[in-house]
Amino acid sequence: PCSLHLCCCFWQLSYVSLFLNSSMVVKPVSLTLSCRISITRYCLHWIRQPEGKALEWMGYKCSSEGTETKDLLKSKTSFTVNTSSNTLYLQMNSLKSEDTAVYYCAQYTY
């Protein structure tokens, strides 16, 4: 909680490229991506960008237990956190070639 004039924040961005071709996804494929959290009070957003397309917000998880996932992705994604290693995970299931993208984690600290 902070006033509009006194609020200060910091964004930290990391990314990984995920490439899936049709031969890799004949069977349902799952994958876990991780992002290291550098502070105890955070909201970490996952965003992806398929080649030649716009950024797509996937969801977020906050240290205050807040979590939200884009409706179209709820059936195939989940967010978990390991507090002992300060790592947040994005678990994706039933991946298809259209899930090929650069995946970003953006940490908002407050």
pLDDT in tens, 23-34: 444 455 788 888
Q: Is residue 1 part of a domain?
A: no
Q: Is residue 5 part of a domain?
A: no
pLDDT in tens, 38-91: 767 778 888 888 889 999 988 888 877 777 777 777 788 888 888 788 888 888
Contacts of 72 (CB under 8 A, 6+ apart): none
| Predicted pLDDT at 12 | 52
93 or 67, which is more confident: 93
Lowest mean pLDDT among 4-8, 96-100, 101-105: 4-8
Give me the CATH number covering residue 102.
2.60.40.10
Q: Is residue 17 very low, low, confident or very high in pLDDT (cuts 50, 70, 90)?
A: low
Q: Is residue 2 part of a domain?
A: no
In terms of Cβ atoms closer than 10 Å to its own Cβ (0-12, 13-18, 19+), residue 33 is middle
- Give the distance from CA 85 to its chain's centroid: 17
- Tell me how many domains the chain contains: 1
